[in-house]
Amino acid sequence: MALDRDAKPAEAAQARVDGGELLSDIEFLLARARVRGSASANSALKPFGLRERHYAALSLARGSIAPTQRDLAEFLQLDPSQVVAVIDELQKLGLVERTPDARDRRVNIVTATPKGAALYTETRAAIAAARDELLADLSEAEQKTLADLLLRLAF
């Protein structure tokens, strides 16, 4: 048996490992925080049969400006071919529609159906509820600060 090597997994590694420099390494922290964020959102979305990317695409599709698939690819940082798959699935579920642009028939404009808009509202609430737990250690003000800083970093 190891001497100081038998504690609970989660905290153990932190106590046992010299994380030193990594713990102030913003890329490492971003990667780790994002894993927690994705897990939180995806777990909230699971009952609805959706994942993060579907939620994000649905959110944009029900916005005030109906996006093209190209717009979705750019904004969501997905390859156009990945957008095809996401929209295929959302369409199969009756949550969005593809409408060819009358002015340029190569273009598909993606809009949420009423069903899609309604489900978006539900899923948004589910994600927000999970988020409360995710961000429990941060005050409201800190959450706001974090979101602001991330927004400036993300774009």
Partner DNA sequence: TATTGTTATACTCTATAACTATA
Partner DNA sequence: TATAGTTATAGAGTATAACAATA
Q: Binding marks (x or -) toward DNA, 101..140, rule CB under 7 A?
A: ---xxxxx--------------------------------
Angle at 50 between CA 57 and CA 143, to 5 degrees: 70
Report the C-alpha gap between 26 and 14 in whole angstroms: 17
The pair of structure tokens assigned to 41 is 């959102």
Applying the rule CB under 8 A, the residues between 30 and 59 that interact with a copy of itself are: 30-38, 40-41, 52, 56, 59
Applying the rule CB under 8 A, the residues between 76 and 105 that interact with a copy of itself are: 77, 101, 103-104
Among 50, 57, 61, 87, the residue binding DNA under the rule CB under 7 A is 87
Q: Which of 115, 101, 90 is nearest to 68 (CA)?
A: 101
The pair of structure tokens assigned to 112 is 């949420």
Is residue 70 close enough to count as binding DNA by CB under 7 A? yes
Q: Which of 81, 87, 131, 135 is nearest to 112 (CA)?
A: 87
Is residue 12 close enough to count as binding a copy of itself by CB under 8 A? yes
Contact residues toward DNA (CB under 7 A) are 1, 35, 51-53, 68-70, 73, 77-84, 87-88, 98, 104-108
